[in-house]
Amino acid sequence: GEDVEQSLFLSVREGDSSVINCTYTDSSSTYLYWYKQEPGAGLQLLTYIFSNMDMKQDQRLTVLLNKKDKHLSLRIADTQTGDSAIYFCAESQGYSSASKIIFGSGTRLSIRP
Amino acid sequence: NAGVTQTPKFQVLKTGQSMTLQCAQDMNHNSMYWYRQDPGMGLRLIYYSASEGTTDKGEVPNGYNVSRLNKREFSLRLESAAPSQTSVYFCASVANARDRAVSQPQHFGDGTRLSIL
């Protein structure tokens, strides 16, 4: 079945780059997403990538997709204290109303001074 | 502010009690979703409604029912609450399934924290 896996924790120093990794099993995934969840809040869509792309950059965020290895990563450049949150990787297949988004368990990013 | 509104934000129930979680969106979105979030397990889809008048089961529908009252509102009901249903519940909406990834992010409410004793 479908599965999305992430490591649970990541700690980086303020100003360094953070790289959050994710692996997925479903080769028919069409879109892959990164969401951010701050304490006490819902999820916020940060960025997404279509499965025929290798890379997408959006300001401090860079998404890399290795479709062969089913590996997705999110790089946050110049990590700030405001980046402390849980980051969820997710994938979906297709456009139909029956398609659903499968979430990983989330990576908690903490920032060291 | 436009967005997804969930009520209540917190609730404590006794085993066997019933409760309805409310969700409303004012973005004229077609599709609405209910998820539960448990520690170390990410979000799991309970039910979704692709459009007004339709509902479908997600990954973990047992013990829940839903109603898509109109285009704005999508409620989740626990008929007989069980301790295993202690969780944080999130409602989300998108304009339609096709736009979900392309131009419309999935908007989430701030969650309902439900404890069942």
Burial class for B44, CB neighbours closer than 10 Å (0-12, 13-18, 19+): middle
Å between A53 CA and nearest CA of chain B: 13
Q: Which of B36-45, B59-68, B91-100 has the lowest mean pLDDT?
A: B91-100
- Distant-in-sequence, close-in-space partners of A4: CB < 8 Å, separation ≥ 6: A22, A23, A24, A25, A89, A90, A91, A102, A103, A104, B42
Locate the chain B residue with the closest alpha carbon to A7: B40
- Distant-in-sequence, close-in-space partners of B33: CB < 8 Å, separation ≥ 6: B45, B47, B48, B49, B58, B74, B91, B92, B93, B106
What is the pLDDT at residue B116? Answer: 96
Q: Maximum distance among all alpha carbons in chain B?
A: 42
Q: Average pLDDT for residues A79-97, to the nearest whole number?
A: 83
CA-closest candidate to residue B48, choices A97, A90, A22: A97
Q: Which of A42, A92, A106 sits opposite B108 (nearest CB)?
A: A42
What residues in A contact B48, CB-CB < 8 Å? 100
Is there a contact between A100 and B58 if contact means CB atoms under 8 Å apart?
yes
What is the pLDDT at residue A96? Answer: 53
**Chain A contact for B53, CB < 8 A?**
no
Å between A87 CA and nearest CA of chain B: 10
Interface of A with B (CB under 8 A): 4, 8, 30-31, 33, 40-45, 48, 50, 88, 92, 95-101, 103-106
> What ranges in chain A are assigned the alpha helix state H?
none
Is there a contact between B43 and A43 if contact means CB atoms under 8 Å apart?
yes
Å between A108 CA and nearest CA of chain B: 10
pLDDT digits (tens, 9 = 90+) for A32-87: 889 999 988 888 889 988 888 899 999 999 999 999 999 999 999 999 999 999 99
Is there a contact between A40 and B92 if contact means CB atoms under 8 Å apart?
no
Q: Number of H helices and number of E strands within chain B? A: 1, 11
| pLDDT band, residue B87 (cuts 50/70/90) | very high
Q: Is the pLDDT of residue A10 over 90?
A: yes
